[in-house]
Amino acid sequence: MFKRLRVMLVAFMVLAALLAAAAPALAVHRPTKVMIVVMDQMQPGYAKQFNMTNVLKLQNMGVTFPNAFVGDLASETVVSHNVMVSGLFPKHMGWSDEAIRDVHNILGYGVDSIVTTGDLGYADYVKLIEEYDYPKLGDYLHEKFPGKIVANVGEKGYQVESMAASSSDFWVRMGSAKATTTLPDPSVVPWTGKYRGPAGQVPSYIASDDRFKISAGNPWDTYDTTSTAPAWVYPEDGRYAPGEQAGHVSGDAWVADAALKIIDNEDWSGLWVTFSAIDKIGHMWGGGAVDTLANYKWDPNTIFNQIHMPFTAKNADNQLGRLIDELKAKGQFNDTLIIVTADHGSTYGKDDGFHGVNAFDAGNLTNWYAGTWHAGASTESSSTGSPALKPLMDTGKVQFSYQSTAIETWLKGDPRGADEREVAAVMETLPGVIATYVKNGDRYKLYSSSSTMTADEKIWWSATGQQLVDSMCFSGSADVVGLLADKTSYGAFGDHGGAQMDVQRIPMAWYMPGIKHSVSNQPLRLVDIMPTILKSMGIAAKAADPMDGSAFALKLPK
C-alpha cells in the first residue's frame, strides 16, 4: 500500500510539474506612464528628519536604494537633470558643468568661448544635444506611445528647459520677476511689489489661467533675505517661498498646480516634475540650528518659516502627495511608475569652510564666476572672483574659473603642458583643496592629493574621485580641477557641484502599485535612471545609441 502511495505521489508531482511548465507565465504589468519627481538638493536623511510621509511611504512600499548617489560631475542642476533623461555621463551629452568651452562654436559666441550653461535657453540646449546626436527618454516614449505627450514642470528655467530640450512637448516654468505696477490693471492683485508668471512652452489651459498668470512668494515685503547672512549670498527671489497671497502662491505649490493641470488635461506618457524650494533653502542657510526641528517652531503661516527647511521639505512632500492623489482620482495610478530622487545633495561652509564673499548676491556677483565668459549674451561678462581665488587668478593663465564645492578652471590659449601643471600647483594651495587633476585627453590625471584628508574623506575619494572627474571630461570641460574637503564651499554658504559624499548622496525610490518591495544596496546613479525606466516599460534601448547607465531589474506586479 505504501509503495502504491509513493508511486501515486511521484506521479502527481510529475503531473503538477508538467502542468506548471505548460501554463503560460503571468504577464508583467508594465507601466504606460512614468513620473520623475526631483526634489532639488534633497539629502537622503530629510525624509525621516522632516517627516516626509509620502516619500517615506514610497520608500517603504517600493524599491529604495540607500546607497544611491549622483555618480558624475559636475553635481549641478543644469547637468544632472539631463543626465537622468539621457542615460549619459556629462562628457557625452554636450555640457558637463555650469560652464563649458564651446570648442566648435555650436552656440555661436565664437570658437573656444566660455559659456555659462545655466544662462542658456531651450534652443541652446537643443543645439548641443543635436550636435552630440543622442535620443532622450521623451523620444523613446513618443515612439512607444505615439500621440501621448511628455511634459516638464519646475520653478527654474535652466532646470526645466535642459531636461525638456529636444524631447518634451510642454515645459512650464516661472518667468522673470515683474512689478505689479506694470499690470494693465494693478487692482487685480491685492498687493504691490513683484510677481512671476509662466514661461516656456506653456499649454493654453495654464497660460490663460489667472492662477498662473500672477504668483508671488513676496519675500521682498515680509522677510528680507537680501540683508540676512548667510542667506543674502543667494537670496530668495519670489519663486520658492509659497507666500501669503491665496490663489497666487509661488514655489512648489505652483509647480504642483501646473503638473495637476497637465495630468487633468493631457493623455501623457512622461511627466518630469522638479520641486526646487529645498535647493534654495539649502543654498541660503546650509542647514544649521535654525533648520533643525529641535530649534524650530512650526508655523507655516509666516514667510520666516516658509524660508527654512522644516516647512520647505514638508511642503515639497505635501505636493508629491497631491500628485499621487490626482493620479488615483484620474484612474492613472496603477499604470504609473513613480521615481523620487534628487539631482544632487549638498554641503555647507562649516566654521571656516566658506571661502566666498559674505555679501548680498555674492554667489552670482563674485563667488561662483571668475574670469571672462558669455552668459547667453553676445557680450562677455567678467569678474575677479572671490579673494580666496587671487593666487589662482594672479597666474595670468586663467580664462575662467567656476567654484562651488569643487573648483574647475579653464586656461587661456593652449592649455596643455606646463601651464596646466603650474596652475594645478597653485590650485592645490587654495583653502580646502584635497586633490587636483589636469586634463589628459579624455580623462583627468591626478596631479596631487593632500595629506590633510580625514580618514572618511580619503575612503570616499579613493573609491569615487577618479571616476567622478572622468565622467565630466570632454573637449569643453575644465583644464584643471580641484576637489574640496567636506563642509567646504566657495559659492553660496550651502552648495553642491563637487565630489564630496554629502554632495553626491541622494534619495532614490521607485514605486508603482504591486511592485515588490525591496531595499537594494546597489549604488544606483542618476545615469542609471533612464535605462531602468526603459527596461521597466518594456522598451528596447537602441544599439546605435548606447547609454552609459545600466538598467536595474525592478520586480513589477503581475
Residues 428 and 519 reside in one and the same domain: no
Contact 346, 502 (CB under 8 A): yes
- Single residue among 494, 525, 546 that ends a domain in this structure: 494
Contact 478, 97 (CB under 8 A): yes
The answer to the question of residue 480 being in a domain is yes
> Is there a cis peptide before residue 230, judged by omega within 30 degrees of 0?
yes
Contact 278, 40 (CB under 8 A): yes
Dihedral pair phi/psi, residue 466, rounded to 5° = -65, -45
Residues 484 and 524 reside in one and the same domain: no
- How many secondary structure helices (H) and strands (E) does the chain include? 20, 22
The rounded distance, in Å, linking the Cα atoms of 71 and 402 is 20
Residues 205 and 236 reside in one and the same domain: yes
Residues 369 and 459 reside in one and the same domain: yes
pLDDT of residue 290: 55
Residue corresponding to grid cell 559636475: 74
DSSP string, 49-68: HTT-HHHHHHHHHSEE-TT-
Residues 38 and 175 reside in one and the same domain: yes
The answer to the question of residue 332 being in a domain is yes
C-alpha torsion 447→348→79→238, nearest 10? -150
Q: How many domains does the chain have?
A: 2
Residues 441 and 518 reside in one and the same domain: no
Half-sphere exposure of 389 (CA within 13 A, CB side): 29
Q: How far from chain centre, in Å, is Cα 33?
A: 21
pLDDT of residue 25: 56
The rounded distance, in Å, linking the Cα atoms of 542 and 525 is 20
pLDDT of residue 7: 42
First to last CA, the chain: 43
Dihedral pair phi/psi, residue 39, rounded to 5° = -95, 95
The rounded distance, in Å, linking the Cα atoms of 277 and 282 is 8
The answer to the question of residue 446 being in a domain is yes
Q: Where would I find the H helices in 243-337?
A: 251-265, 277-285, 303-306, 309-329
The rounded distance, in Å, linking the Cα atoms of 384 and 491 is 14
Task: Kindly give, in sequence order, each residue whose CB lies less than 8 Å from that of residue 301, ignoring residues fewer than 6 positions away.
Answer: 244
Residues 55 and 192 reside in one and the same domain: yes
The rounded distance, in Å, linking the Cα atoms of 364 and 490 is 11
The answer to the question of residue 279 being in a domain is yes
Residues 375 and 512 reside in one and the same domain: no
Residues 338 and 448 reside in one and the same domain: no
pLDDT of residue 268: 98
Q: Specify the amino acid at residue 291.
A: D
pTM of the model: 0.94
pLDDT of residue 12: 42
Q: Specify the amino acid at residue 86.
A: S
Q: Which residues of the chain have pLDDT under 50?
A: 1-20, 22-23, 220-221
Residues 524 and 455 reside in one and the same domain: no
pLDDT of residue 459: 98
The answer to the question of residue 555 being in a domain is no
DSSP string, 416-481: TTHHHHHHHHHHTTSTTEEEEEEEETTEEEEEEE-TT--HHHHHHHHHHHHHHHHTT-STTS-SEE
pLDDT of residue 302: 75
Give the CATH number of the domain where residue 148 resides.
3.40.720.10
* Domain containing residue 366: 362-494
- Single residue among 494, 526, 546 that ends a domain in this structure: 494
pLDDT of residue 298: 57
Residues 340 and 428 reside in one and the same domain: no
pLDDT of residue 4: 46
pLDDT of residue 288: 60
The answer to the question of residue 60 being in a domain is yes
SS3 state at 379: coil
Return the beta strands (E) in 284-405 as ranges.
336-341, 347-348, 369-374, 380-383, 398-403
The answer to the question of residue 124 being in a domain is no
The rounded distance, in Å, linking the Cα atoms of 148 and 367 is 43
SS3 state at 549: coil
Which cell numbers in the block locate residue 500?
Answer: 564630496
Can you state the angle between helices 137-144 and 529-536, rounded to 10 degrees? 10
Residues 454 and 518 reside in one and the same domain: no
- Closest CA relative to residue 197, chosen from 172, 220, 214: 214
pLDDT of residue 294: 61
- Per-residue burial over 207-222, b = 16 or more CB atoms within 10 Å of its CB, e = otherwise: eeeeebbbbbbbbbeb
The answer to the question of residue 54 being in a domain is yes
- Single residue among 465, 494, 523 that ends a domain in this structure: 494
